[in-house]
């Protein structure tokens, strides 16, 4: 039984200073049932819709709401597979809806989530919304950008900071709902008290350097104040895009152990299942009944024997 990490979360989404509509979405879900919490953990996610005003808003909302619903409906204790399946189902739903009307053509969304279960993080992502981990003064990006410039960074053709200013930053190589199937990245990272996780859309990280985001988080022990500081920083830079950020502080919870997870076992085939054995008391009772029946039948058996002997 391992100690569970508690968390404090701050979250905010804003249309920015140029766009009229906010096509970003975010969600936080924590089960009330302690056994489900021990199996599934808590879910945090952000999404950036693509495809124009109403279509983009629909896509990001579908992504966050459907992934949360499907993830917690899946009873599997395998977080990585469970979150990946949930994103795949949301991908299929968004793709099907994009075919229903011309106004929804090309509708899709980025999606980045973090699941905190016990003392472990599971980051899942599609697109270029990011997941960061701040630990002991070091801020590092856990997720990878699924974009043309992101591919160039991984190929060593572009410095990481070049993604912010490079042309084609918004050319995504993966998005939820763009195609019938989507590849999902999942990263497992050990968690520890004192960590801070940042989830954000490109409306934030595209305007602020990693160092600036680190300072904003580190200087604000309250996660909601940290989020407001980040959004204000993006607005100082003009905020041409929607801005969404979520800050999660992890801390120890003394005396709050994780409830042991329910075991999931497959039943053996019928021909292999063990037949229930009667208890010793039942065996004794059956023996006494058999003896009594034998004693009652003895005179009749003796009478028949005498008749046959004549």
Higher pLDDT among residues 100 and 280, named by residue: 100
Helix (H) or strand (E) holding 26: strand 24-29
Indicate whether 273 pLDDT > 70. no
Q: Is 244 exposed, middle or buried (0-12, 13-18, 19+ CB in 10 A)?
A: buried
Per-residue pLDDT at 160: 87
Residue 242: closest CA among 50, 58, 64, 16: 16
Per-residue pLDDT tens for 20-40?
999 999 999 999 999 999 999
Per-residue pLDDT at 296: 63
CA–CA dist 214, 230 (Å, integer): 10
Domain ranges in the chain? 3-257, 277-309
Indicate whether 302 pLDDT > 70. no
Q: What architecture does CATH give domain 3-257?
A: 4-Layer Sandwich (3.60)
Output the CA torsion 283→285→290→296 (10° steps): 170
Give the model's confidence band at 170: pLDDT under 50 very low, under 70 low, under 90 confident, else very high: confident
Query: Averaged over 154-165, what is the pLDDT?
Result: 88
Contact between residue 286 and residue 30 where contact means Cβ atoms under 8 Å apart: no
> Which three-class secondary structure state does DSSP give residue 194?
coil
Q: Where are the alpha helices (DSSP H) in the chain?
A: 34-40, 53-73, 79-98, 148-154, 162-165, 202-205, 210-218, 223-236, 280-309
> Which pair of structure tokens corresponds to residue 289?
């009944």
Strand partners, 240: none
**What percent of the chain shows pLDDT beyond 90?**
74
pTM of the predicted protein model: 0.81
State in Å, rounded, how far the first CA of the chain is from the last one: 81
């Amino acid at each position: 039984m391992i100690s569970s990490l508690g968390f404090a979360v701050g979250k905010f989404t804003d249309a920015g200073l140029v766009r009229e509509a906010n096509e970003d979405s975010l969600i936080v879900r924590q089960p009330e049932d302690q056994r489900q919490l021990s199996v599934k953990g808590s879910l945090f996610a952000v999404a950036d819709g693509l495809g124009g005003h109403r279509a983009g808003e629909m896509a990001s909302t579908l992504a966050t709401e459907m992934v949360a619903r499907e993830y917690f409906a899946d009873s599997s204790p395998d977080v990585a597979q469970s979150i990946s399946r949930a994103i795949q189902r949301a991908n299929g739903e968004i793709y099907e809806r994009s075919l229903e009307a011309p106004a929804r053509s090309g509708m899709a969304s980025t999606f980045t989530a973090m699941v905190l279960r016990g003392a472990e993080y599971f980051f899942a992502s599609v697109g270029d919304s990011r997941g960061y981990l701040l630990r002991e003064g070091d801020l590092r990006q856990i997720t990878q950008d699924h974009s043309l410039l992101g591919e160039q960074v991984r190929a060593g053709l572009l410095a990481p900071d070049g993604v912010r200013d490079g042309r084609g930053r918004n050319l995504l190589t993966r998005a939820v709902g763009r195609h019938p199937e989507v590849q999902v990245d999942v990263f497992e990272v050990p968690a520890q008290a004192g960590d801070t996780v940042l989830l954000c859309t490109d409306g934030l990280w595209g305007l602020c350097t990693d160092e600036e985001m680190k300072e904003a988080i580190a200087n604000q022990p309250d996660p909601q104040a940290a989020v407001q500081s980040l959004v204000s920083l993006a607005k100082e830079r003009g905020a041409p895009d929607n801005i969404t950020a979520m800050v999660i502080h992890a801390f120890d919870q003394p005396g709050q152990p994780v409830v042991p997870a329910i075991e999931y076992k497959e039943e053996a085939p019928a021909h292999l299942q063990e037949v229930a054995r009667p208890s010793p008391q039942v065996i004794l009772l059956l023996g006494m009944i058999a003896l009594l029946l034998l004693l009652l039948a003895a005179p009749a058996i003796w009478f028949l024997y005498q008749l046959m002997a004549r």
